[in-house]
Structure 1
């Protein structure tokens, strides 16, 4: 699902108060972390990821990898913080995606 401008703006406002759920350190982005991120997105739909100072990863590269691997949308990249959105496949977890579709 490609997000439009209004949808991204709404998601950015919702993510403002969130704290980063994952931190990518010197180990980098690996398969286990990608799986955990995908499971967290299934439950929460909107998460933040922080890249620590000791990592060699670049935020745009991590965003591109995650978009390709788990088919999520990158809402925002500010410095070393990524905001990711993916609509949940379970109806019980679809809180934000219902509001996003209305916009």
Structure 2
């Protein structure tokens, strides 16, 4: 799944007003974090994740690893915040950040 530049631009615009839903601390990606990100993506489709990791290389690695595990697409990463997108199988119009 690859996003077109137009889709990325649209998702960045929508993501601008979102707050991070999940915070990843320096201990890495636990199973609970993975499950919470997976649930949040299923509900909201477009989410922000905050990484509180000091090293940039480790942060990039964690973002890539998380995207691979939850099968999400990285839309944008600025500083400690990553914007992730994964289409929902059955989107709920009341929860989805794309349908509101």
TMscore range, shorter length: 0.7 to 0.9
Q: Count the aligned residue pairs.
A: 97
Deviations, residues 33-74 of structure 1 (Å, cap 9, x unaligned): 111100100000011011125689733212211221111100
1:79 aligned partner: 79
1:26 aligned partner: 26
CA distance in 2, matches of 1:74, 1:87: 12
What's the CA shift for 1:80?
1.1
Q: Which runs of 5+ in 2 are unaligned?
A: none
Pairs within 5 Å for 1:1-103: 1-52=1-52, 58-93=58-93, 96=98
Compared with structure 1, are the counterparts of its residues 57 and 33 closer, same or farther at alpha carbon in structure 2 (3 Å cutoff)?
farther
TM-score (norm 1): 0.81
CA distance in 2, matches of 1:22, 1:91: 20
TM-score (norm 2): 0.83
Q: Which runs of 5+ in 1 are unaligned?
A: 99-103
Structure number with the higher helix fraction is 1
CA contact (8 A) 1:59 1:79 kept: no
CA contact (8 A) 2:15 2:46 kept: yes
